[in-house]
Structure 1
Amino acid sequence: MRRPALALLTVLCLAGCTAARPLPEARVDVAAPRPVGAQDPAVIPSGAAAPPGSCDPRASLRPSGTLPAPGRMPGGSTMARIAERGRLVVGVDQNNYRFGYRDPGTGDLVGFEIDLAHEIARAIFGDPGKVLFRAVTTAEREQAVQSGAVDIVIRSMTMTCDRWQRVSFSTEYVSAGQAILVAKGSPIKGLQGLAGKKVCASTGSTSIRNVATKAPQALPVSAADALDCLVMLQQNQVDAVSGDDTILAGFAAQDPGTTVLPDRFTEEPYGMAMKKESPDLVRFVNAVLERLRADGTWARLHHTWLTALGSTPQPPAARYRD
């Protein structure tokens, strides 16, 4: 009886020892997922139909006299139709820190461009809250205006001669310039350092074309939203992000591990985009901007939201083509 018991004990011991033996380590390298819509390599837009220098992109339509009183828009005007609808519909960004983003505490859209939209609503209705915001991507901005999905796009949109062929712009409300964002300690110090490096910019932006032109040895990558480019930089999927210095400054504030290189290599004047068929709305918006420059509202909003860009400058001077 002792031999079978001893044999059983041996089997159980071996089974137990075998079960306790650690499994060999297995490593599986999983690449970080790319943001939806990211293109590597990027598709570079074809050359502009209206090349730079063929117009003054900052020159808009002159206001028609004084502003009408809120709630008393001229009959038959675009503003009257907006007033009858009861809301101004504005295409904005919801991921651009300081310009247009969601307050993490309230969930409300806030920022410099959001407040500009409120001021236009105030001029039409007498109530700054009568705005319906619609989030649009960089690539969707023109189509949103042309289709009538929005009345105005206020979304860090550079005025160019090419874009003037398809939409109209207000006068300039912010002067920006293209720059480069990198991780602190990066060997990239400027445009020359981008050779052979992956550089991310927004799809449909002037930035992606400028990267291809100004740094032809770079490897352009595009993403649907500039914030996606920051994520790709954080995940080491790209070596740098290029875009307007105003936007990149917001990224650097959100991620202290990044820095904006000091050189600006383009001029990027921001204007509000509207339908070509609504020149009365363009003139009205320009009259509102004239008032915001004159009464100190522009300076107050700049001080509230954009002090990280430096001391509050004089607002961009209005230019007109008529």
Structure 2
Amino acid sequence: MRIRVLAVTLTATAALLAGCGYDATPLPKAENSTPAAPGAAATPVECTNPTQSYDPSGDKAAAVKQLTNKGRLVVGVSGDTYKMGFTDPTDGKLKGFDIAFAEEIGKALGVPVEYRVIQASDRITMLDDGRIDMVARNMTVNCDRWTQVAFSAVYYNATQKVLVGSDEADTYTGPADLAGKRVCAPASTTSVANIKKIEPDVVAVEAGTHTGCLIKFQNSEVDAITGDDTVLAGLAAQDPYTAVPQQEKLTDEPYGLAFNKGDVALVRFVNSVLDQMRANGRWTEIYDQWLKPTLTVDATPPTPVYGR
């Protein structure tokens, strides 16, 4: 059994981040036939392309009018997904890729942003009951979710991958290498199920969060961790004894900002903000600040798909 000697600061960071959870997301379905909820804005029953959102609009007044929490934008975020949405232990402030997008949208709306750290399982419920106006929490767009919420255009294209020990990164060739190995993912997610479709002999191990998986890895209780590449890169940045090796993606995970299903005017305005961020270089600035140092690859903004 490998023994990993970790710096005290790394253990402290993992313990700090363990309080809130990241949850991987279901794969998109080919189509959905569930009717829209009574009174909700019309959303097409057919869903041939879940990344398709509403045409952008610069109508700020209409967007602000749809804020449930008047005078402010209340955003549900992660507090422990390093580099995406996390609480910086040095100053106690929420920071990261998702946080930066929320700040830009609040600025464009002309209202202050209020953050609520939420569990992934609370995202849709809290939108439904009006406790939050928007979710910026690495949430994958899929057809099933379009029956429950409205999504912005995709603002980042993530993929599911695997994290292993740094001493195994050079020899890892794919899921077949995980046969008989213990692979960790948060409970109630499809991350391990996706790998088991490829390699049925994977031994699934659950934890409350990906940070919990990292702690299990550090204690030699699991051999690998699976999840979105954005999340795994953050874990690897916390622990130098881990790595995300070169590998083929397991799934596509397109991220969208989520809203109450009826808040179409708000979604349209947010799409106009995302368009501006792609055009003026702000998207690239945010990516270069938060994700490029850990993912170590250049990236370009996703091309939006409209016409819903």
Sort the TM-score into its range (normalised by shorter chain). Answer: 0.7 to 0.9
Q: Return the TM-score normalized by structure 2.
A: 0.79
Query: Are the counterparts in 1 of residues 28 and 141 from structure 2 also a CA contact under 8 Å?
Result: no
Matched, 1:176 2:161: no
Query: Offset of 1:302 from its aligned partner?
Result: 1.1
Cα distance in structure 2, aligned partners of 1:280 and 1:100:
26
1:144 counterpart residue number: 126
Q: Return the TM-score normalized by structure 1.
A: 0.76
2:54 counterpart residue number: 61
Matched, 1:220 2:213: no
Structure 1, unmatched stretches of 5+, are 1-34, 39-43
Query: Offset of 1:207 from its aligned partner?
Result: 2.1
Cα distance in structure 1, aligned partners of 2:19 and 2:99:
26
Query: Offset of 1:188 from its aligned partner?
Result: 5.3
Cα distance in structure 1, aligned partners of 2:90 and 2:20:
29
Query: Offset of 1:220 from its aligned partner?
Result: 1.8
Written as runs of structure 1 = structure 2, the 5 A alignment for 1:239-278 is 239-263=223-247, 264-278=249-263
Of residues 240, 264, 288, the one that matches 1:303 is 288
Residues 137 and 83 (structure 1), Cα distance of their counterparts in 2 relative to 1, 3 Å cut: closer
Q: Counterpart of 2:185 in 1: which secondary structure? A: strand
1:124 counterpart residue number: 109
2:7 counterpart residue number: none
Query: Are the counterparts in 1 of residues 27 and 142 from structure 2 also a CA contact under 8 Å?
Result: no
Query: Offset of 1:238 from its aligned partner?
Result: 1.5
Query: Offset of 1:319 from its aligned partner?
Result: 0.5
Counterpart amino acid of residue 183 in structure 1 = G
Residues 257 and 105 (structure 1), Cα distance of their counterparts in 2 relative to 1, 3 Å cut: same
Counterpart amino acid of residue 178 in structure 1 = Q
Query: Are the counterparts in 1 of residues 51 and 305 from structure 2 also a CA contact under 8 Å?
Result: yes
Cα distance in structure 2, aligned partners of 1:176 and 1:193:
23
Counterpart amino acid of residue 242 in structure 1 = T
Residues 231 and 132 (structure 1), Cα distance of their counterparts in 2 relative to 1, 3 Å cut: same
Cα distance in structure 2, aligned partners of 1:202 and 1:321:
35
Cα distance in structure 1, aligned partners of 2:67 and 2:283:
24
2:178 counterpart residue number: 194
Query: Offset of 1:255 from its aligned partner?
Result: 0.3
Cα distance in structure 2, aligned partners of 1:49 and 1:116:
24
Counterpart amino acid of residue 118 in structure 1 = E
Cα distance in structure 2, aligned partners of 1:255 and 1:287:
38
Of residues 159, 162, 165, the one that matches 2:141 is 159
Query: Are the counterparts in 2 of residues 51 and 162 from structure 1 also a CA contact under 8 Å?
Result: no
Counterpart amino acid of residue 107 in structure 2 = R
Structure 2, unmatched stretches of 5+, are 1-17, 33-46
Query: Are the counterparts in 1 of residues 20 and 118 from structure 2 also a CA contact under 8 Å?
Result: no
Deviations 1:191-215 (A, max 9, x none): 0022222211123444243233233
Runs of 4+ in 1 over 6 A off after TM superposition: 35-38
Q: What is the aligned-residue RMSD (CA, Å)?
A: 2.7
Residues 274 and 212 (structure 1), Cα distance of their counterparts in 2 relative to 1, 3 Å cut: farther
Query: Are the counterparts in 2 of residues 233 and 239 from structure 1 also a CA contact under 8 Å?
Result: yes
2:10 counterpart residue number: none
Residues 250 and 154 (structure 1), Cα distance of their counterparts in 2 relative to 1, 3 Å cut: same
Counterpart amino acid of residue 148 in structure 2 = R
Matched, 1:321 2:307: yes
CA radius of gyration, larger in = 1
Query: Are the counterparts in 2 of residues 177 and 268 from structure 1 also a CA contact under 8 Å?
Result: yes
Q: Which has the higher contact order (CA 8 A, sep 6+)?
A: 2
Q: Counterpart of 1:177 in 2: which secondary structure? A: strand
Deviates more, 1:220-229 or 1:202-211: 202-211
Q: Counterpart of 1:85 in 2: which secondary structure? A: coil
2:75 counterpart residue number: 90
Deviations 1:171-228 (A, max 9, x none): 1111111110111224754200222222111234442432332332212223332111
Cα distance in structure 2, aligned partners of 1:172 and 1:311:
19
Residues 208 and 273 (structure 1), Cα distance of their counterparts in 2 relative to 1, 3 Å cut: farther
Counterpart amino acid of residue 209 in structure 1 = A
Residues 193 and 109 (structure 1), Cα distance of their counterparts in 2 relative to 1, 3 Å cut: same
